[in-house]
Structure 1
Amino acid sequence: MTYALPPLNALRAFEAAARHLSFKLAAHELHVTPAAVGQQVKALEARLGVQLFERLHKQLVLTVAGQAYLPGVSEGFRHIAEATSQLKPAGAVLLQLGIHGGFDLRRLDLAAFRSTHAEIGLRVLHPAGLHELVEGKVDLLLARGLGHHPGYRCDRIDQGSGLGDWLVSPEGTADCPEIVSFRAWLRALPAENSIANRRPRLVGGRR
């Protein structure tokens, strides 16, 4: 059976905006701009041929069609989340790590991380970039760049200034135990792995 489904990103934007009745709050949750949420919702309305929101002055209100659509969309996301959680390794918290294409995976010794952190089911997407992090395809990202991304915590993992390698995670989840464990793992790697065994320089002075 083939399902006629709108784009997932548009559905996520609608569902978040409908819960918050705010493009701004939905954007904060999804780590995108309010304009991007508004564009996704507008595209979804065009595809469905119905108006989902009344855009009043400083107020967002669900139309009758939007009110009817929201429960099914929310329930669908709940089922997807539950099905995904069942794929996690037994007794483990799943951690999705994205790594930019130019990074040498041998620097991380991921096999050793997995053997010493049995409680974390580590999965790697390589190559990956900020797009995958924004889309929720990965939980944290080893990115190449300047490391300044509003709404994200950025920890530099190499020496020097200018372009470098950064561990990037959403501010809302940056202190989750599994992400803290991986950040500590990076800090503890020996210098011969080309990642200094010092604490990384943190954006904004945070540690």
Structure 2
Amino acid sequence: MTYALPPLNALRAFEAAARHLSFKLAAHELHVTPAAVGQQVKALEARLGVQLFERLHKQLILTAAGQAYLPGVSEGFRHIAEATSQLKPSGTVLLQLGVHGSFDLRRLDLAEFRSAHADIGLRVLQPAGLHELVEGKVDLLIARGLSRHPGYRCDRLNEGSGLGDWLIAPEGTADCPEIVSFREWLRALPAENPLANRRPRLVGISGS
């Protein structure tokens, strides 16, 4: 059976824009420009012969056709993601961690993490920032700042308000097993350790 499918990039652009009701936020999630998202959606509408969005001043609204189309597209992506996650390739899963330049890596006990998670090949890029995360050079990032980034899950590593260290991962991959393992590792670092003031502890989530 041959499936009559629109281009995958156009479907991704539509699905992300429909979830966010924003070309800008969809572009941030997909690591492209808002203009690129708009062009992909426009091309999809032309291919399908229907209008998917009402483009109002500073507002994006799904048409009836868009509302009807979205659940099936989202479900299709979910099935693809689930099928992909069930694959068990041989060898080690590579996890690339970016860290800002002033962060002391000794806080993370990375040697112990690697020993406890032999199935995860952890590589560290330092210094690294949001630019490297957006470009896909790293899978998750420890960044310094206030950390409110649409399309990303942000977990604070230390208590308090204002500037701090955050673990940041794209929402689309934030629940991948290797990222979950690293997040749980940070949570499990013993607060009662004599070096506790040098250890990170996830204390909250900043969503977008």
| TM-score (normalizing by structure 1) | 0.61
Counterpart of 1:139, as a letter, is D
Deviations 1:139-180 (A, max 9, x none): 000000001000000000011100000000001111111101
Percent of matched pairs sharing the same residue: 66
**Would you say 1:203 and 2:206 are equivalent positions?**
yes
Match of 2:187 in 1: 187
Q: Deviations over 1:49-91 (max 9, x none)?
A: xxxx8x67x8466xxxxxxxxxxxxxxxxxxxxxxxxxxxx62
* Cα distance in 2 for residues equivalent to 1:60 and 1:107: 53
SS in 2 for 1:183: helix
* SS class of match (2:158): coil
Contact 1:99 1:124 in 2 (8 A): yes
Task: Quote the Cα distance in structure 2 between the aligned partners of 1:164 and 1:21.
Answer: 32
Paired position in structure 2 for 1:155: 155
Gaps of 5+ in 2: 1-6, 19-25, 48-89
Please name the residue that 2:80 is paired with: none
Partner of 1:174, secondary structure, is coil
Aligned residue in 2 for 1:138: 138
Q: TM-score, with normalisation over the residues of structure 2?
A: 0.60
Q: Is the 8 A contact 1:155 1:167 kept in 2?
A: yes
Deviations 1:180-202 (A, max 9, x none): 110011112234252355x4211
Larger RCO: 1 or 2 (CA < 8 Å, sep 6+): 2
What SS class does the counterpart of residue 121 from structure 1 fall into? strand
Q: Secondary structure at the match of 2:131?
A: helix
| Maintained 8 Å contact 1:189/1:195 | yes
CA distance in 2, matches of 1:32, 1:166: 23
The alignment of Structure 1 onto Structure 2 pairs a total of residues equal to 149
CA distance in 2 between partners of 1:17 and 1:165 (Å)? 33
Check the 8 A contact 1:32/1:134 in 2, yes or no.
no
Q: Say if 1:38 and 1:180 are closer, same or farther in 2 by CA, change over 3 A.
A: closer
Helix, strand or coil at the partner of 1:166? strand
- Structure 2 residue 98 is the aligned partner of structure 1 residue 98: yes
Please give the secondary structure, in 2, of the residue aligned with 1:202. strand
For 2:177 and 2:184, locate their aligned partners in 1 and report how far apart those are by CA, in whole Å: 10
RMSD: 3.2
1:175 and 2:175 equivalent? yes
